Structure 1
Amino acid sequence: MIPRLLFEEIKSRVLSSNKIIVLYGPRQVGKTTLVRELIRQLPYRALAVNADELPYSNVLSSRDLAQMRLLVEGYELLFIDEAQRIPDVGLNLKILHDALPELKIIATGSSSFELANRTREPLTGRTWTYELYPISVGEMLQEQNTFFVQQRLDELLRFGSYPDTLQLAGAADKVRYLRELSSAYLYKDVLEMASIRYADKLQKMLRLLAFQIGSEVSLNELGNTLGMSKDTVATYIDLLEKAFVIFRLSAFSRNLRKEITKMDKIYFYDLGIRNVLIDNFSPLDLRTDVGALWENFLIVERRKRHAYAGTFTNSYFWRTYTGAELDYVEEANGQLLGFEFKLTSKKAKIPTAWETNYPSAHFELINRDNFISFVR
C-alpha cells in the first residue's frame, strides 16, 4: 500500500468524532484500499458493505430504522463503499446516525455531484468530508527521496499517477491499464447518473479539451465543433468536473480593463488519462506539448497539496489582452503569489504589467530543479 497523506487525518477523525466520514475521489485512486487499511488498524468491529450489492442497498435505502439496526447490530463501524448508488443515502444515513450516534460511519463515492446531492441537506453538520486524488508527489516522498522522485518526473508527465500505473513496470502495461481505465470507468458516473443523451459527443469533447490544456477554452467554439449548444457544453464540463475527470481555473483580475476574465482554462486530474485521450505517450523529447504537460502537472499537484494540508486558497491564471501572462496565481491570507512554469529554464522575467499593477505580489519560476518545494 502506498502511504496516503489523508490516512492519519481520517484515522484521527474516526477515533475522536462521531461524525460521518465522507471520502470522494475518482475511480481507482485507492479509496477502498485506504478505508480497509484504516479498518484494519482501528479498534472497532467493522461491517464493510458494497452499495452495488442489492441486500445492503435495499436496507440502507429503506428509511426503516428497525431494518438498519438489524444490519449493523454488533458492529461499531459501518463502511459503505460507492455510497452514491444507494437511493436517498443522505436521509437514510441521517436516520441511522441520529438513532445510533455511537456508530462510526465511513462512506466513499466516486462522483462528488451524486453523493453530495444525496447527502448535503440531510447530513448538514454531521460529516467530515475529504477528497482523495491519484498519488501525489508528497505521498511519493514518504517512501522515496527527492532524487528518485525527480528521476520519475518524465514518467509522471507521460503516464500520470494512478496507484496501479505507478506500480506497473513497463510502458506497455501502463498504457494498457490506462486504456482500460478510461474506457471502463472514466465516463461511467456521468453517463449513468446524468442521463447524457450523446455519449459519443462527451468523449469527443474530452479529446478536444485534452488538446487544449494550458489554453483558454471557448464554450462557443467547442459547441460549434461538436454540434452542441454552449449551455450543453457547459453542463458536460460541469459534470466531468464533479466526476473528478477535469477541473477549471479562472482568470485573475482586479477589474483592470486590460485583463482577460471571460474564459477558463481546463486541466485533467491525471495526465495519464489526458494522454490516453489523445493517444500520445511519446517520450518528452519527442513531444510538442511538454509545456502544457508541465503546467497541468504542477497545478494539479499544488491542488493535491492544498487539499491534503487543509489549506484554502483561490487559484487562477493571469493574462492581459496585450499578451502578458502568468501560468498560475494564488491568493491566500491577503497575499498574492504569481508563478511561471518552465520545465528546463533557469530564468523568467516578471511581466511588466504584473509588476506594475501588483508590486507587492510574490513571483517565482518553477522548473524541474525546484518543483518539489512547490508541490509537497
Structure 2
Amino acid sequence: MAVIKRTLTPLVREHNTRKILAVYGPHFCGKSSLVNEILQERGASVSLDGGDPSDTLYLRSVSEDNAAEFLQDKNSLLIKNAHKVPGISKILFALARANKASEHHKLIVITSAIDLRLNRSDDDLFSFNIERLVNIDEESLLFTEVYLWPFTLNEIVASDDPRRVSAEVDLCMVRGLMPESATDSEVRSDNGRALITTHERLRVECSQRLELLLNDLLLAAPRLNRDKFHELLVLLAQKLGRELDLDEMSQVLGLGPEVLKEYVSALERCLAIKSCRSLHLAISGEKSDGLRIYFTDIALRNFLINDFSPVADRNEQELQALFASLFFMERYKKHDLERRQISIFYWKKTIAEPGSTNSVDFVELGDGMRAWQCGYREDLCAHFDPQSLFVKTYHQCSLHRVTPASLAACL
C-alpha cells in the first residue's frame, strides 16, 4: 500500500515558529513519524526523549533564567514523550517565553500521549462549557496544540474510489484505524489463516498500547489506582455507546461518584476515550446529565472484551454500537483536523412517548446545528423521524440518516 498522507501534515509544516507546537495523540498513531518528516525538511534537529533518563535530566535543568541560553545553539528542537518529563509544563512555558522574545525564533515541537492542556485549564467533563464553542484568540497563545488521531477513513481511501469507504467500514469496526493495522495488507485477504495472523498481531499491539496507557494514566493522575483503571476500561468497553449509569458503575467498581469522574476524566486526558454528553437546551424533559463514552480507536475496545470476530458474527446491538462509535470518531476527527470549534452531543427524552422518536444519536453544535441518526443497516435506523419532536423544536437543525452506504458523504 502507498504511503498514506496525513491531513495534519500541512498544518505542522506551516507552523508559526513563534509558538511551541504540541502534537498530542495515542501511542502508535504516528506522531514521531509525522514530526520527523517535517523536521527533516528543515535540516538538522536536536531530539530529546522524555523516556530517556539523561535527556530528562537535561530538560529539567531548564528554567526561566537559562531558557534562552538553552535554545541558543539549537536550530530546531523535538521533545518526544514530553509527558514523561516531571514538571514539563513549567519547562515548556520557560522555553516558549524565551523563544517568543528571541529575534530568531526556533522551531520547537513536542509530542505527548497525554493532553498537557498548555493553553487552558482543566475542563469539567461533566458540565456544559460554552467557552469550548467560542473561538480562542490564537495570537495571544504561547502554544499551538494539535491532535493526531488514528487514520481517518478519508485518509485511507484518499487516492482510491470514495465508494471504498463503505467497503472499509466492516474492517474498521473490528481492527480500528491505527496505522499498523490499517495498512496491514493481510487484513484484506480472504484467506482465513491470514486473518487469524492479523488478529494475533492486533492483540499484541493492543496489549502493548494498553500497558503504555496504564502507565500514562498514573502520570496524569498519580493518586488513582492502576487496577481500577483497567477495570473501568473493561466496563466501558462492555457498555460502548450506551448511556452510563454512574451510580451503578460506582458500586461495581467500589468508587465514589466524584472519584469515578476523576478516573473518566483521566482516561479522556490520556486520549483513550471521548465523551459524548446529552444535550438540553429548550425542551421540557430533555436528559440533562447523560453520558456516553466512545474509544478513540475501536481495536483497543475489542481487545478489552476479547472479541475480534467479524461483524457478520455480531448481534444487532453490537453492530449499532460499533457503527455509531466509528461515525462519532470520524466526525470528531474531521472537526478537530479542520480546527473547528464544534461539540458533539446526543439527545434523549427522559420519559418515552409512544409513537414518537425520543432520542437522536448525535447533535453537532457550534456552527449551527446538525443531527444524525445512525444505522448499520437501513432497517436498524427505524428511529429516523423527520417529523419528530426534536425536529419540530429545533427547526433550525437539519436531521440526517447515515449508514455505511452513505458514510462517505458525511466525511
Report the Cα distance in structure 1 between the residues aligned to 2:278 and 2:340, rounded to whole angstroms: 21
CA offsets, 1:53-109, max 9 Å, x none?
A: 233322322135787667655431111111222333224323542464521111111
Q: Residues 62 and 92 of structure 1 are in contact (CA less than 8 Å); yes or no, is this contact kept in structure 2?
A: no
3-state SS, counterpart of residue 15 of structure 2: helix
| 1:146 is the counterpart of 2:162 | yes
Look up the match of 2:48. 49
Report the Cα distance in structure 2 between the residues aligned to 1:125 and 1:95, rounded to whole angstroms: 10
Instruction: Give the residue type in structure 2 aligned to 1:273.
Output: L
Of the candidates 107, 111, 114, which is equivalent to residue 108 of structure 1?
111
What aligned pairs does 1:261-340 form with structure 2 within 5 A after superposition? 261-288=288-315, 289-323=318-352, 324-333=358-367, 335-340=368-373
Q: Residues 113 and 239 of structure 1 are in contact (CA less than 8 Å); yes or no, is this contact kept in structure 2?
A: no
Instruction: Give the residue type in structure 2 aligned to 1:48.
Output: S
Q: Residues 60 and 92 of structure 1 are in contact (CA less than 8 Å); yes or no, is this contact kept in structure 2?
A: no
* Alpha-carbon offset, residue 195 of structure 1: 1.5
Of the candidates 8, 11, 25, which is equivalent to residue 9 of structure 1?
11
Look up the match of 1:230. 257
3-state SS, counterpart of residue 180 of structure 2: helix
Report the Cα distance in structure 1 between the residues aligned to 2:224 and 2:331, rounded to whole angstroms: 35
3-state SS, counterpart of residue 110 of structure 2: strand
Report the Cα distance in structure 2 between the residues aligned to 1:64 and 1:89, rounded to whole angstroms: 6
Q: Residues 134 and 161 of structure 1 are in contact (CA less than 8 Å); yes or no, is this contact kept in structure 2?
A: yes
Q: Residues 206 and 303 of structure 2 are in contact (CA less than 8 Å); yes or no, is this contact kept in structure 1?
A: yes
Superposition CA RMSD, Å:
2.5
CA distance 1:356–1:69, shift in 2 (3 Å): closer
CA distance 1:83–1:115, shift in 2 (3 Å): farther
Q: Which runs of 5+ in 2 are unaligned?
A: 123-138, 187-194, 353-357
Of the candidates 339, 343, 347, which is equivalent to residue 376 of structure 2?
343
CA offsets, 1:223-244, max 9 Å, x none?
A: 1111111111110000000000
3-state SS, counterpart of residue 29 of structure 2: coil
| 1:356 is the counterpart of 2:392 | yes
CA offsets, 1:104-142, max 9 Å, x none?
A: 1111111014767899xxx97221110110111121132
3-state SS, counterpart of residue 217 of structure 1: coil
Report the Cα distance in structure 2 between the residues aligned to 1:34 and 1:286, rounded to whole angstroms: 36
Report the Cα distance in structure 1 between the residues aligned to 2:83 and 2:231, rounded to whole angstroms: 27
CA offsets, 1:317-371, max 9 Å, x none?
A: 01112331110011233x2211100112077323621122122321110011111
Q: Which runs of 5+ in 1 are unaligned?
A: none
* Alpha-carbon offset, residue 6 of structure 1: 0.6
What aligned pairs does 1:30-45 form with structure 2 within 5 A after superposition? 30-42=30-42, 44-45=43-44
3-state SS, counterpart of residue 181 of structure 1: helix
3-state SS, counterpart of residue 156 of structure 1: helix
| 1:190 is the counterpart of 2:194 | no
Look up the match of 2:127. none
CA distance 1:126–1:63, shift in 2 (3 Å): same
Number of aligned residue pairs: 368
CA offsets, 1:289-340, max 9 Å, x none?
A: 000000010001100000111122132101112331110011233x221110
**So what's the TM-score if we normalise by structure 2?**
0.83
3-state SS, counterpart of residue 152 of structure 1: helix
* Alpha-carbon offset, residue 184 of structure 1: 2.2
**So what's the TM-score if we normalise by structure 1?**
0.90
